[in-house]
Amino acid sequence: MNMMRSFYLYFLLSYMTGNPLIALVLVFFAYGLMDKLYFGFLPDFTKGIRANQQIKSNLKELTLNPQNAHAALTLGMLYFEKKKYREALNYFQHPKLEKDASASYHYYLGMTMMELKEIGLGKVSIEKALEMDPRVGYGLPYIYLLKNEMNQSIPDMNKIEDLEEKIERFGNTENLYRMGRAYRSLDNKEKAKEFFTKAIETYSYCPRGLKRLHRKWAILSRIYKGV
């Protein structure tokens, strides 16, 4: 909806309902419905509620059984998604998790360490995760490694090219968009534009049933490409 259509819709609903406040609520509802069905920009407010319920449930499980590694891993992942990295690390350091570590564990631990600026330890964990399962995280671990290499005083261009190739193999619009943002943050506008273009092209090849999941990143790529 553009601004003019929104105004007309609001005016029409105000006339039909006789109540400007109800009309405004209905306009916002229409925006929310369109976003949910088509764009995906607005946050999923129920997601936070579900996450809090999962945290509460897993905390209870861990209290009843302190050796419950699955509950500890789930709590770490949930806190990571909430960007509460210290809390996440606390659960990732569960003794049983460190003993029976999976690729997913190393992947989340590595990203958490990098977010906490423990770059060396984070890089080791992410590389360990990729060694165990190259597809873990669907390309996101490679983006963490790419950003780290790009921020080196003397970046290794061979490593960067290798990481770029590995990320592109996933054919994921979000990953390509994030690569574009990474290059843009380093003021490499030409390289950023290249990856924004690739994200848009990748979206165009998506099956119809998957387009809704990738549309947000394609739209953002188009916006940043033109800036």
pTM: 0.76
Structure tokens at 143: 């983006």
Residue 197 lies in a domain: yes
pLDDT tier at 142 (50, 70, 90 boundaries)?
very high
Domain extent for 225: 171-227
Question: Please, what's the b/e burial string for 185-208 (b: 16 or more CB within 10 A of its CB; e: otherwise)?
Answer: eeeeeebbbbbbebbbebbeebee
Residue 36 lies in a domain: yes
Residue 162 lies in a domain: no
Average pLDDT for residues 150-168, to the nearest whole number? 91
Which tens digit of pLDDT belongs to each residue from 38-76? Answer: 556 555 667 778 889 999 999 999 999 999 999 999 999
Residue 83 lies in a domain: no
Domain count, the chain: 2
Residue 178 lies in a domain: yes
Q: Is 141 helix (H, G, I), strand (E, B) or coil?
A: helix
CA distances from 213 to 38, 201, 209 (A): 9, 15, 9
Residue 204 lies in a domain: yes
Nearest to 172 by CA among 145, 202, 144: 202
Nearest to 179 by CA among 191, 162, 171: 191
Residue 125 lies in a domain: no
pLDDT tier at 219 (50, 70, 90 boundaries)?
confident
Residue 35 lies in a domain: yes
Nearest to 220 by CA among 181, 171, 183, 184: 181
Which tens digit of pLDDT belongs to each residue from 80-127? Answer: 999 999 999 999 999 888 777 889 999 999 999 999 999 999 999 999
